[in-house]
Amino acid sequence: MPELPEVETIRRGLNNQIAGLRIKSVQVKKARLVKGSVKKFIAVLTGNVFLEFNRRGKLLIAALKSGQFLLIHLKMTGQLIYQHGRQLIAGGHSFVGMDWRLPSRHTHIIISFRDGSRLFFNDLRQFGYMKIVSKIELEKELKKFGIEPLTAGFSLKNFVEIFANKKTTVKALLLNQKLIAGLGNIYADEVCFYAKVKPGRRVYSLTEGEIKKLYQGCRVILAKAVKARGTTFSDYVDADGRQGRFIKFLKVYGRKGEKCRRCRRGVIVKIKQGGRGTHYCPVCQC
C-alpha cells in the first residue's frame, strides 16, 4: 500500500505534470471505484481544470477550478499512470508483471486532457476510489484523520497523549489513521525497529523513553523516506518517472531471514499480526 512518503511524492509529481490541464473527457469502466453518482462524477470533471494537488495522510486531494475537490485514495493496489505521447510515468502500488499497455484489464477510470495526455486509475484489487466533494464535505473528510508526523503539530506532548491509557499493540496504534495519519505497514515496522520495540508490545507496557523513541522514529523515518521519494519495490516509479530509493534504507521490512543490520545477532522474522505481515528482530526489539 502506498504510504505517506509515496503519496506525498505522487502529489508533487502530479502538480508538476497535470496541474493546470483542462479535462476533455472522463471514462468510468468500473463504477465501484467511484464513490457517489457516476453521472455526477463525469459531469463535474468534464471541462474542469486541476488547479493543484494536496494530501492528507494517504489521501490525495485535487482542487478543481469549479471550487469542488476530487479525492483519490489508492488503498492497497491503486496506481495513477500518466501518459503523454510515448511518455509513461506512474505512481502508487507496484506488482510484478505490471501491464504497461494502456488501458489494461486493471484500468477502471480514464481522465483525458485537451492536450492529448491521459491519467489512468488502475487498481488490481479494486479497493481504491475517487470521489467528488464540496468544500464543506472535504472539511468533514479531513476531520477523520489524526495528526501527521511531519507537521508542526506533531509534538512529543501530543504523541504521549495519543499513547495514554491504550490497551492495543504498538503497531496497531501506529496504523490507526484516526490517531496518526500516514503510517502504513512498511513504515510502522521501520519505526518500531528504530525504537527497539517489538510491534506486538502492548502500549501500556511502554516506558517514557520508548514512547519518545517511537515519536522520534516517526519523524526521522518518514522525513528520510520522503527525501528518498518513497520505497520502490519492483515496478514502482513515482509521478515524475523516478524510482523511490528508500528501499535501500529499510532495516526490517522485506528482510525476512536476513541477519539484523543493527545487532548482527538476530535474524529478521515475519509474523502475522492483525492480519498484516510484521517484521522485526527478536534479539534487539523487545
Residue ranges for the known binding site are 106, 125, 166
Binding-site residues for DNA sit at: 106, 125, 166
Annotated catalytic residues are 2-3, 58, 276
**Residue 227, number of CB atoms within 10 A of its CB:** 12
d(CA 36, CA 283): 49
Phi, psi of 113 (to 5 degrees): -105, 160
C-alpha count within 13 angstroms, C-beta hemisphere, residue 112: 10
d(CA 274, CA 124): 23
d(CA 132, CA 54): 15
Angstrom CA distances, 196 to 97, 190, 224, stand at 36, 10, 18
